[in-house]
Chain A
Amino acid sequence: MEKLKSIDDFRELQQRLTADRDLGIPSIVIPAGTCGQASGANDLIRITKRELLAKELTEKIHLRITGCHGFCEMEPSVLIEPRGTFYPKVGPNDMVRIIEAVARGETLEDLFFLDPVTGERVEIKNDIPFFKEQVRTLLSRNERIDPIRIYNYIENHGYSALARVLAHRSPEWVVKEIKASGLRGRGGAGFPTGLKWELLAKQPNGRSKLLVCNADEGDPGAYMDRSVLEGNPHSIIEGMLIGAYATGATEGVIYVRNEYPLAIKYLIIALQQARELGFLGEKTLGTRFSFDINLVRGAGAFVCGEETALIQSIEGKRGEPRQRPPFPVRKGIDGKPTAINNVETWANIPVIIESGALEFSKIGTKNNSGTKIFSLVGKIKNTGLVEVPMGITIEEIINRIGGGPVGRVKIKGVQTGGPSGGCIPAKMFDLPIDYESLTEAGSIMGSGGMIVMDEKTCMVDVAKYFMNFLKGESCGKCFPCRKGTQRMYEILDDISNRKGTLAHLDLLKELALAVKDTAMCGLGQTAPNPVLSTLRYFHDEYIEHIKDNRCPAGVCKELISYSINENCTGCLLCLKACPERAISGRKKERHAIDSNKCVKCGACTSICKFDAVDVR
């Protein structure tokens, strides 16, 4: 790779790359992010490479390996361009057929996506309801880019925002543009990004300034940052370069958790390529502007996603938050002014510069512009990453994109914002998704986790799960957070074990409010949210646990019992499945469960085909 010595060099390269593209040739696109690889995308890639070579098709069919496209439920999937044919859950044998069909210019109808709602087969990717209802500004770029090829990024308008800014715009203009776009931090708190940059730009000169990309995504069930890092690492580098130009920062750090090996690998490659081509390092594209980025790997503490803890961790100290103020923008890494933004925020920057602040602010609502990626998981038909404009209602995400509940069980609520977020009940699903509405409802936007729960999810158990997570992941520095999360867990555990009293509920609430009020950092201040929001919206469930010793969802083991009802056909399946031999009965006779032997493992419920096991 030859270093680009000027902005004109870059434009020439970009033009050449774009001109060389032959859009007529069909491409097989295989998403191979972590989710794709886990479900077998690597096998598909191997088969495709072998088949293309064996059948001498390498000139006629192109292969592109990309990051995750978002429909994780259907991995490993294959997309055929330019038509946009989408094949979900492709097996190794299907792959061979697909390649043959592509070579003949045909499609395979039996492998098309089967819409679970209408029961019809859908060929084109963008016609599938899951994709159709989304506004995929960031995620759609994942489809077009091979993350380890910088040329691929450049030919898809990559780095042109940077080139334009360097050539024609002043740093002040960039800050103004980001402010005008109304972009707010996608890490969860929603601080206006433009304002943060302005504060950093105003810090006295002479001291070097730093930019940080916070890629320490630790919420259980959330992985939007990972997909951006794996699918489009250069967009983050470009975003940080533009940010550095606007704020006068000279050094950048990407803090990524070590649990994302693929993201780290792609980032290292991307940084190396960007340096070789002359984007990073001394004198970007021959201008007077210089900026370089280091990669720092996190050691696995959830709290290091909190910005002051993240700074300590980058400095090589224990990852513990410290009291703000002083805010990092005044005193950050090694005492230097530091601006920390989330992965998604950085990825949005080139988009804003490309399309203009006005266009960007048209998406979404007034104070919440742009799109947000959510990871939609849980008891829902279509799970995966969804990118939607801000201000869309929860209802739309869950029913139109998510496809509604699995089976006949009704959806009860949705948990947003990870461990620090709260549960929103189904009756409030017309709530628009923006920072203010969610906070008012007792939850938070967070980084974008969205866990859908149905009637078979116990809310006490959910709160208990998150408290268990937080009592281990609190750094332990400040007393109310450390002891408070332990005590909240203890009380919730008592409630789920027949030991709860009504006085416990008052104590729980009092404690939760005190922790919220007194904890030092964001983790502690939001840690009681799961408890407070479930207490607020699912109070009856708590009362039922305590007064009637009953878990309505059938989850809390101490409060439930298993029995076999008249649906039983006497098939012996559960009898064989029971690890404790607690089920007795003969063939074609109704079985019975010995409650003394039963360990409530649920093996019989999951194996029964006739709905004959009651959990009460």
Chain B
Amino acid sequence: MDSKGEKSGLINLSINGLDVSVEEGTTLLEGARFMGFPIPTLCHKDGLSPYGACRLCVVEIGEGAKTKLVSSCTYLAEEGLKVRTASSRVIRARRMILELLLASCPQSKTIQDLAAAYGVRQQRFRQEYEDCILCGLCVRMCEEQMMAKAIGFRGRGENRSIGVPFDIQSDVCRLCGACMYICPACQLRCTYTEPERAICGGCENLTPPCIEKEQFDDMMCYMQPCVACEIKKD
């Protein structure tokens, strides 16, 4: 089996004790998910280049005392690698990341769900109310799928943010809304066109309802003009 596997370009590794053969160039995340092992991600989407920023997808590789955590979305399968997707070290790391996420972006349904799934029921830091977790999905979406490169990162460290150059409407932005569509932090907020999926429905409860207003002025909506509003108008 081994020699045959090597000839056909297959790589043999072990995921959670299970022997697995995957094609060369497969990431650990793809391999594990193919085998049915769930790994949470926030900055990964099929069709976009792997980024490795949210670090939720960390898995433990190696054996004995020399194990380490790597992001499974960027790590390519290696021959003979021993991977554990849910060891205590992995879970501990993910729980701390989720706690940090909750402390910064408590309103996101995605993050709330993930935290609940990992049993994170409190966060011990000073509560912040940010929206963006800088996962970079929108930037990659805009560049790689929409071929626009309208938005990008600016600043570094605590000043890092996503935006358009000089904060003025970008000429290359086609208002396609893909950035909004893909955002894991806000995707479940602005769903006016599908009200049954909305978590707050805040926009419907505004007086006057925001749909009657010129724009989503005070809402958690990043589009100007708003896609939902545009669709409704048509």
Contact = CB atoms under 8 A, between A and B. Distances in A.
Contacts of A5: none
A504 to B, nearest CB: 8
Given A323-B74, A323-B75, A479-B55, A484 B100 contact: yes
Contacts of B70: 323
Interface in A488-544: 490-491, 503, 507, 510-511, 514, 517-520
B156 A480 contact: no
Given A487-B125, A514-B96, A482 B160 contact: yes
Given A477-B53, A478-B53, A480-B100, A303 B156 contact: yes
Contacts of B160: 475-477, 482
A615 to B, nearest CB: 29
Contacts of A476: 134, 153, 155-160
Interface in A460-496: 470-480, 482-487, 490-491
A206 interface: no
A318 B92 contact: no
Contacts of A487: 100, 103, 125
Contacts of B158: 471-472, 474, 476, 482, 486
A503 B100 contact: no
B212 to A, nearest CB: 38
Given A323-B52, A517-B69, A479 B134 contact: yes
B40 to A, nearest CB: 13
A485 B125 CA distance: 13
Nearest to A469: B157
Given A323-B52, A323-B70, A514 B134 contact: no
A6 B71 CA distance: 52
A339 B155 CA distance: 28
B97 A514 contact: yes
B54 A511 contact: no
A112 to B, nearest CB: 48
A119 interface: no
Contacts of A503: 124
B52 A322 contact: yes
B93 A520 contact: no
A168 B23 CA distance: 47
Contact of B93 (A471, A477, A491, A514): A514
Contacts of A204: none
A325 interface: yes
B18 to A, nearest CB: 23
Contact of A301 (B69, B74, B76, B156): B156
A500 to B, nearest CB: 13
Given A473-B157, A476-B156, A507-B124, A517 B104 contact: no
A518 B97 contact: yes
Nearest to A494: B126
A420 to B, nearest CB: 15
Interface string B90-111: 0011001100110110000000
A611 B194 CA distance: 74
B71 A520 contact: yes
A475 B160 CA distance: 8
Contacts of B155: 476
Contacts of A517: 58, 69, 89, 93
Contact of A511 (B52, B75, B96, B153): B96
Contact of B55 (A471, A475, A480, A511): A480
Contacts of A480: 55, 96-97, 100
A471 B53 contact: no
B221 interface: no
Given A325-B76, A479-B133, A520 B55 contact: yes
Nearest to A318: B153
User: Which of A477, A490, A507, A511 has the most C-beta atoms of chain B within 10 angstroms of its own C-beta?
Assistant: A477
Contacts of B101: 479, 483
B124 A474 contact: no
Contact of B71 (A301, A303, A323, A473): A323
Interface string B153-177: 1011111100000000000000000
Interface in A218-259: none
A483 B100 contact: yes
A482 B128 CA distance: 15
A490 B125 contact: yes
Interface of B: 50-55, 58, 69-71, 74-76, 89, 92-93, 96-97, 100-101, 103-104, 124-126, 133-136, 153, 155-160
Given A473-B156, A474-B158, A476-B160, 17 more contacts: A322-B52, A323-B71, A471-B158, A472-B156, A474-B156, A476-B157, A476-B159, A479-B97, A482-B134, A482-B158, A482-B160, A491-B125, A507-B125, A510-B96, A514-B93, A517-B69, A520-B71
> What 10 pairs across the A-B complex have the smallest Cβ distances?
A476-B160, A514-B96, A323-B74, A472-B157, A518-B55, A323-B52, A474-B157, A518-B93, A483-B100, A478-B53
Interface of A: 301, 303, 318, 322-323, 325, 470-480, 482-487, 490-491, 503, 507, 510-511, 514, 517-520
10 contacts: A323-B50, A323-B70, A323-B71, A474-B157, A477-B160, A479-B133, A482-B134, A490-B126, A507-B125, A514-B92
